[in-house]
């Protein structure tokens, strides 16, 4: 078992802060912690499935058409999950369902298929998917903590005293997302560079 | 890089004009308008300005001490000036902590994120105002009534708020029923606005109207602007084109000289034209550039005032034009003596 | 060339498998999803029209903002004894960030019985206050006095707008007004259906040519042909005053607001 494949996505190759893939859903749903975890969990499952399938069929896919094949595989997989969730777990679908169409356009899924799953074994691909999914979820949650607490005056939906009466609305709007995203990325770079210049 | 190499902001040749001197003189030029605001809005204006300055200074000190590990140099006055300008463009009714956060965010996000003094693209004071307007729109559109006793801090008592002339004008022009009844009685929208707010042309000049803390005293701002002109800290190009564009533009749009004068004397136009659009860091370098910049600011102000959702557009017009400064500079900065165009060089080679 | 055929074959197979899987998924899930959606709507309906046990659908012809003919689907709610309790409909006024889907319940006398926001895309923290404090206050006002002027106070109405979110508040009020207008226009038909629940509405058989409403008679509408399969008559004049709401179901009388036969608008 190659633990490096699992841990790299969480910090060293974090999909949001380092590879900078999937920023669109990250900014769109990081307005609350509940949304962040919902999106993170949904994306992790899809990533797991797509990485597994693609690493299984990678040997037989002609190189020239691998991208269209991946897209067909991912789109089919996501649509099936979406439909089955809506049909059999309507409560889960009501809370996570809105993220599923966003996952189809999430670059992380195709990015990992192209960059990792088509070159590695199914076991490693699963580890990569879990790591990347966790990294994505953590990054989203980090952005969401700031945006929900400062912008909505709530923490996981629980009102925070002092802030709840006059939250800073900008944080919950798109510019606030960019500000937090940028500052967190700068902070990560600062740490990665050893904390000092 | 050697620790001993001290890089300072230009100009490098020896002259009495240091950054600190310019900043403090601009701050001095704002004093008359500040006195007017104390007279019009009372002690609350002082609290808001103080908190804005403290926020800006705190932001500057924090970044310099923690991230740049530079000795904290607050004496150059640039953070103080940003705090004052920010406070001047927000309502006097603003809660003190909002003013503090505004100054803080303006310095951090508007200036230090770009690398500090001389590096920022946008006017930090107006960045702060834009952030506050997006974050606390209710506080940012609650205007103190001139002369109302609102106390120093804490919630506002009843009946101390009033509309700004521009705000009321926009509401009036948007209300077809009111316009019809005004037309029937032969009153113009302008007369209606003046009557409702119990103001006249004199109050527009002296500043006894509702509005942002430091923008109302037009004569005082003009005085400060003239001081800067005489001290050669600014040139006439930007203020003149900006004010002229707004006046002539509204004359062209409304075909009413009184309305044109109203637009010239309302809102934050004087404050913006003399103190914000002339900021050395965020405006073009050449005289021609200044003319283009001033015209652009005036035109966007008109666009927002007449077509936009907000009653006033000076802040956003200057921020938008700030973004065009590199482009304006690219086309207006003259070639140095002996400098040859790149393609010509190629031919020679 | 051979290579091209190879890759083409591969794509064909992959797409065929994907297509089969999706078709299978759709087959298995579609009925359940429809059922789930119906349950959600059912729950919302019961919430906005308390006491209602059974709902009948009635499609009314109306006009949209641009004056084009449109169909509005109403649910008529009855309690366990078959007593008519009011109507439920979904209105979707245009808010700041997109349509605001509101489920609106109206009592037979036209008063608001309940309102629920199904979905919206307003600015979080500003426009989304519609579903928080605004809605409670709105219901308080709407239930206290009748008639209520469903305009924000800035426009001369009775409703307190959300501070700094006037556009959302205005849109909400407009949605409520639209819903009330639809019910008023279709009053006669609704009462006809309310009196005979479950019966197929007969959009026509005119018997007495006298309008019972004391209001000025609307412009004479073309008499609707009796056969339900014939396309509906032109839309009602939106300016025509709606018939005054009456408590007891009246016998149907012309001129009827034109109605689309049941099922015709779907």
| Span A106-138, pLDDT tens digits | 888 888 888 898 888 999 999 999 999 999 999
Angular region, A20: left φ>0, alpha ψ -120 to 50, beta rest: left
Q: What is the pLDDT of residue B342?
A: 58
User: Domain residues for A82?
Assistant: 3-144
- Cα–Cα distance for residue pair B34/B48, rounded to 1 Å: 11
> What separation in angstroms does the CA of A73 have from each of A57, A68, A110, C11?
10, 9, 10, 11
The per-residue pLDDT of chain C, averaged, comes to 73
DSSP run (H or E) holding A40: helix A33-57
Q: Same structural domain for residues B127 and B173?
A: no
More confident residue, A98 or A166: A166
More confident residue, B219 or A152: B219
Q: Same structural domain for residues B220 and B328?
A: yes
Q: How many residues does chain B have?
A: 349
Residues 6+ apart with CB under 8 A from C16: none
Q: What is the pLDDT of residue B348?
A: 45
Task: Check A173 against C21: CB less than 8 A apart.
Answer: no
Residue B73 lies in a domain: yes
Between CA A61 and CA A70, with CA A66 as vertex, the angle to 5 degrees is 100
Q: Among positive and negative, which fits the CA dihedral C125, C126, C131, C134?
A: positive
Q: What is the pLDDT of residue B158?
A: 77
Q: What is the pLDDT of residue C204?
A: 41
Please count the helices (runs of H) and the strands (runs of E) in chain B.
Answer: 18, 0
Residue A43 lies in a domain: yes
Residues 6+ apart with CB under 8 A from B191: none
Q: What is the pLDDT of residue B170?
A: 86
In our burial notation (b when 16+ CB lie closer than 10 A, e otherwise), range B54-65 reads: bbbbbbbeebbe
Name the range with the highest mean pLDDT among A88-92, A158-162, C16-20, C184-188. Answer: C16-20
Task: Check A65 against C7: CB less than 8 A apart.
Answer: yes
Domain count, chain B: 2
Q: What is the pLDDT of residue B157?
A: 79
Q: How far is A157 from chain B (nearest CA, A)?
A: 20
Give, rounded to a whole angstrom, the gap between the first and last alpha carbons of chain B. 36
A57-86 pLDDT per residue, tens: 888 888 888 888 888 888 888 888 888 888
Q: What is the pLDDT of residue C238?
A: 42
Partners of A154 in the β-ladder: A159
- Cα–Cα distance for residue pair A187/A195, rounded to 1 Å: 9
Best of C12, C124, C127, C168 to disrupt the A interface (most A CBs within 10 Å) is C124
- Cα–Cα distance for residue pair B286/C102, rounded to 1 Å: 57
Task: Check C126 against B141: CB less than 8 A apart.
Answer: no
Tell which residue, A119, A138, A140, has the closest CA to residue A130.
Answer: A138
Residue B225 lies in a domain: yes
User: Domain residues for B85?
Assistant: 19-140
Structure tokens at A66: 């691998």
Residue B14 lies in a domain: no
Q: Same structural domain for residues B107 and B230?
A: no
Q: Which of A166, A173, A182 sits opposite B134 (nearest CB)?
A: A173
Among B140, B174, B199, the domain boundary falls at: B140
The answer to whether A17 touches A192, Cβ cutoff 8 Å, is: no
Average pLDDT over residues C248-263: 39
Q: Same structural domain for residues B277 and B326?
A: yes
Residue B160 lies in a domain: no
Q: What is the pLDDT of residue B87?
A: 95
Domain count, chain A: 1
Preceding omega of B39 cis (within 30 degrees of 0): no
Partners of C76 in the β-ladder: C56, C87
Q: What is the pLDDT of residue A128?
A: 92
Tell which residue, B121, B122, B132, B119, has the closest CA to residue B88.
Answer: B132
**Residue C166 CA, distance from chain mean position:** 24
The answer to whether B102 touches B84, Cβ cutoff 8 Å, is: no
Q: Which of C14, C29, C40 sits opposite A84 (nearest CB)?
A: C29
Q: Same structural domain for residues B211 and B328?
A: yes
- Cα–Cα distance for residue pair B140/A143, rounded to 1 Å: 26
Q: Same structural domain for residues B118 and B256?
A: no
Residue A46 lies in a domain: yes
Predicted complex ipTM: 0.82
Average pLDDT over residues C55-79: 81
Q: Same structural domain for residues B231 and B268?
A: yes
Task: Check C126 against A169: CB less than 8 A apart.
Answer: yes
Considering only CB atoms, which residues of chain C are within 8 Å of chain B? 126, 163-164
> What separation in angstroms does the CA of A67 have from each of A71, A109, A112?
6, 12, 12
CA dihedral B5, B11, B12, B16 (to 10 degrees): -120
Residue B6 lies in a domain: no
Q: How far is B172 from chain A (nearest CA, A)?
A: 29
Task: Answer yes or no: is pLDDT of C94 > 70.
Answer: yes
Preceding omega of C147 cis (within 30 degrees of 0): yes
B1 lies within 8 A of chain A by CB: no
Segments of chain B with pLDDT less than 70? 1-17, 68-73, 339-349
Q: What is the pLDDT of residue C244?
A: 42
**Residue B150 CA, distance from chain mean position:** 25
Q: Is C71 helix (H, G, I), strand (E, B) or coil?
A: strand
Average pLDDT over residues A167-178: 87
Structure tokens at B329: 């500079």
Structure tokens at B268: 């934050």
Residue B115 lies in a domain: yes
- Cα–Cα distance for residue pair A156/A134, rounded to 1 Å: 19
C194-244 pLDDT per residue, tens: 877 554 444 444 333 333 444 444 444 444 444 444 444 444 444 444 444
Task: Check A166 against B134: CB less than 8 A apart.
Answer: no
Residue B99 lies in a domain: yes
Residue B238 lies in a domain: yes
Q: By CA distance, what is C13's nearest residue in A?
A: A69
- Cα–Cα distance for residue pair C127/B47, rounded to 1 Å: 32
B219 lies within 8 A of chain A by CB: no
């Amino acid at each position: 078992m190659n633990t490096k494949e699992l841990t790299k996505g969480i910090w060293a190759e974090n999909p949001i802060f380092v590879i900078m893939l999937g920023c669109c859903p990250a900014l769109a749903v990081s307005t609350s912690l509940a949304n962040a975890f919902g999106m993170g969990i949904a994306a992790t499952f899809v990533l797991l499935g797509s990485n597994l399938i693609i690493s299984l069929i990678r040997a037989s896919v002609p190189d020239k058409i691998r991208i269209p094949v991946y897209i067909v595989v991912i789109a089919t997989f996501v649509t099936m999950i979406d439909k089955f969730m809506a049909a059999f777990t309507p409560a889960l679908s009501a809370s996570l369902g809105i993220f599923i169409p966003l996952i189809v356009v999430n670059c992380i899924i195709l990015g990992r298929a192209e960059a990792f799953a088509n070159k590695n074994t199914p076991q490693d691909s699963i580890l990569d998917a879990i790591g990347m999914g966790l990294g994505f979820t953590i990054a989203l949650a980090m952005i969401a903590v700031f945006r929900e607490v400062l912008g909505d005056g709530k923490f996981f939906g629980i009102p925070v005293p002092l802030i709840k009466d006059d939250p800073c609305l900008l944080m919950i709007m798109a510019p606030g997302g960019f500000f937090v995203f940028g500052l967190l990325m700068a902070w990560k770079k600062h740490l990665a560079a050893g904390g000092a210049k | 890089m050697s620790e001993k190499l001290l890089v300072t902001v230009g100009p490098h040749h020896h002259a009495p004009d240091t950054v600190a001197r310019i900043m403090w003189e601009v701050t001095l030029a704002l004093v008359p308008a500040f006195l007017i605001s104390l007279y019009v809005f009372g002690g609350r204006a002082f609290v808001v300005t103080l908190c804005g300055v403290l926020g800006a200074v705190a932001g500057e000190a924090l970044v310099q001490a923690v991230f740049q590990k530079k000795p904290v140099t607050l004496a150059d006055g640039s953070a103080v000036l940003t705090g004052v300008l920010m406070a001047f463009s927000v309502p006097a009714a603003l809660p003190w902590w909002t003013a503090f956060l505004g100054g803080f965010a303006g310095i951090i996000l508007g200036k230090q994120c770009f690398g500090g003094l001389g590096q920022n693209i946008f006017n930090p004071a107006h960045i702060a105002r834009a952030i506050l307007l997006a974050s606390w729109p209710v506080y940012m559109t609650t205007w103190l009534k001139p002369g109302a006793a609102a106390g120093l801090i804490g919630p506002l008592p009843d009946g101390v708020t009033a509309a700004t002339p521009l705000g009321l004008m926009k509401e009036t022009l948007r209300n077809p029923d009111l316009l019809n009844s005004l037309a029937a009685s032969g009153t113009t929208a302008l007369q209606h606005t003046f009557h409702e707010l119990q103001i006249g042309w004199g109050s527009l000049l002296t500043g006894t109207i509702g509005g942002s803390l430091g923008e109302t005293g037009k004569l005082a701002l003009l005085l400060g602007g003239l001081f800067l002109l005489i001290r050669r800290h600014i040139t006439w190009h930007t203020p003149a084109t900006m004010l002229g564009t707004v006046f002539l533009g509204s004359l062209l749009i409304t075909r009413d000289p009184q309305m044109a004068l109203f637009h010239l004397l309302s809102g934050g136009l004087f404050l913006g034209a003399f103190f914000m659009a002339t900021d050395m860091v965020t405006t073009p370098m050449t005289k021609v550039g200044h003319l283009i910049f001033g015209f652009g600011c005036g035109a966007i102000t008109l666009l927002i005032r007449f077509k936009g959702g907000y009653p006033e557009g000076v802040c956003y017009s200057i921020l938008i034009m700030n973004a065009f400064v590199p482009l304006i500079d690219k086309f207006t900065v003259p070639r140095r003596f002996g400098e040859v165009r790149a393609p010509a060089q190629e031919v020679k080679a | 060339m051979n290579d091209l055929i190879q890759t083409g074959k591969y794509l064909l197979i992959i797409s065929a498998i994907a297509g089969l899987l999706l078709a299978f998924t759709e087959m298995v899930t579609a009925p359940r999803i429809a059922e789930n959606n119906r349950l959600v709507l059912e729950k919302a309906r019961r919430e906005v029209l308390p006491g209602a046990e059974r709902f009948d659908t009635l499609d009314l012809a109306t006009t949209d903002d641009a004056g084009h003919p449109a169909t509005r689907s109403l649910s008529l709610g009855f309690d366990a004894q078959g007593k008519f309790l009011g109507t439920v409909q979904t209105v979707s006024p245009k808010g700041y960030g997109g349509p605001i889907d509101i489920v609106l319940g109206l009592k037979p006398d036209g008063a608001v019985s309940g309102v629920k926001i199904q979905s919206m895309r307003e600015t979080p923290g500003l426009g989304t206050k519609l579903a928080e404090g605004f809605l409670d206050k709105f219901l308080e006002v709407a239930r206290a006095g009748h008639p209520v002027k469903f305009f924000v106070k800035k426009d001369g109405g009775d409703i307190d707008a959300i501070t700094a979110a006037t556009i959302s508040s205005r849109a909400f009020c407009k949605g409520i007004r639209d819903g009330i207008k639809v019910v008023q226009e279709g009053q006669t038909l609704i009462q006809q259906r309310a009196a005979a629940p479950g019966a197929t509405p007969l959009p026509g058989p005119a018997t007495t040519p006298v309008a019972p409403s004391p209001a000025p008679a609307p412009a004479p509408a073309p008499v609707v042909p009796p056969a339900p399969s014939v396309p509906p008559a032109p839309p009602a004049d939106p300016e025509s005053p709606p018939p005054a709401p009456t408590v007891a179901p009246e016998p149907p009388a012309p001129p009827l607001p034109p109605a689309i036969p049941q099922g015709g608008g779907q």
